Amino acid sequence: MGYKVLEVYEIYHFKHRGKIFDTYVDTFMKLKQESSGIPARCLDSEGEIDKEKLSLYIEEYFEHEGVRLDPDKMSYNPGQRTVMKALLNSIWGKLAQNEDTTVVSFVDTMDELLEMVNNRTIKVTSLDFISNNVARTTHRKGCSLTPLQNRNVIVASFVTAYACLELYKYLEILGKNVLYYDTDSVIYFAGDDDDCLERGEYLGDMTDELYEKDVKGKKWIEQFCAAGQKHIRIEQTNILE
């Protein structure tokens, strides 16, 4: 990447431990993959499930990920898939969640208001009188904040840092064809299917988020507009094969 470490302020040493999150990841990865439905490569020319190909896929997935998929539960469910994906991604942010959130309070006595303003363990950030007898206040915990035991900024930052490096690998490949990217996704210009990034079914592989099981052919983005991060609009078109 070309970065140089110029100065080190602190060093934290952790004893080596493996498979800290394996049960969590395997649980929701299994549900996400099953709700993605039957892969196209497990269907015959008529669009029907080829049991032999499906069985082979399940074995390959188990050998690669250590997760045994249930063929009876493999049904396309976009809602469940979205929830499972969110659970897989959100755990890392939870480890570094800001604990000093703003607290809103309503006080209706002068004694209560003075007690809050003079309380040195909190920091009052706003004070508004919404009526003659009621005041709305917001405050933070400030210096009195005690970190929770289930927080680990170091783990959260390392996981997201490695995710950024993985994303950057694809950005280098696409170059000027990149239109937009986020934590784990990228929208880019492609002349045809040969220009698309390699996709797969395993953890860490890119997937086609436009693909729908009940739509024949392929879906492409015809128009794209972005007003900023997470503020995008796309118009899709379906190309029959």
Over the chain, what is the mean pLDDT? 86
Is the Cα dihedral 219, 222, 223, 224 positive or negative? Answer: positive
Angstrom distances, CA of residue 45 to CA of 50, 116, 241? 10, 72, 13
Q: Which residues pair with 43 in a beta bridge?
A: 49
Distance (Å, whole) CA 238 – CA 128: 54
DSSP string, 180-237: EEETTEEEE--SSGGGSPPB-SSTT-B--TT--TTS-SEEEEEEEEEEETTEEEEEEE
Query: What residues does 228 pair with on adjacent strands?
Result: 231
Distance CA 116, CA 119 (A): 5
| pLDDT confidence band for 193 (50 / 70 / 90) | low
> 200 pLDDT band (50/70/90 cuts)?
confident
Q: Residue 181 carries which side chain, given as an amino acid letter?
A: Y
The pLDDT-based confidence of 143 (bands split at 50, 70, 90) is low
The predicted-structure confidence for 95-129, as pLDDT tens digits, reads as follows 888 877 888 999 999 999 999 889 888 889 999 99
Question: Does residue 7 sit in helix, strand or coil?
Answer: coil
| Domain spans of the chain, in order of start | 21-96, 102-141, 153-238
Distance CA(137)–CA(115), nearest Å, equals 12
CA atoms within 13 A on the CB side of 210: 17
Q: How does pLDDT run across 70-93, given as a tens digit for each residue? A: 999 999 998 999 999 889 888 888
